[in-house]
Amino acid sequence: MNELLEDAPFLKMKNEEEGQKFIKMNLNNLENNTAVKSEDLLKLTFLSTTFTILEHIAKIYYQEKISGEHSNNIHFSEIQ
């Protein structure tokens, strides 16, 4: 797995803002029928999926914090 991560330079984006700029740029290219490299589509898919997963985890975490109940058998207090 580490070898795959080392071969993916787009994973080394400095912050979320840089990742979001990349996603927006490529979505604009797709909407305008501008050529988009297959490597960029892979990056776009990976980043979009990653942000979606992180957003879902954050929602579960905050629901748990507010309600004090564990949802989906995920116990964040045990992870910390």
φ, ψ for residue 40, nearest 5 deg:
-70, -35
CB contact at 8 A, 10 and 46:
yes
- Mean residue pLDDT of the chain comes to 66
The model's pLDDT over 41-69, given as tens digits with 9 standing for 90+, comes to 777 777 778 777 877 777 777 777 777 66
Nearest to 22 by CA among 5, 37, 33: 37
Q: Is the pLDDT of residue 4 over 50?
A: no
Higher confidence at residue 71 or residue 21?
Answer: 21
The b-or-e profile of 42-53 (16+ CB within 10 A means b, else e) is ebbeebeeeeee
If pLDDT is split at 50, 70 and 90, which confidence band does 71 have?
low
Q: Is the pLDDT of residue 80 over 50?
A: no
Q: Give CA torsion, residues 50, 56, 57, 63, to 10 deg.
A: 160
Using a pLDDT cut of 70, give the percent of the chain over it. 49
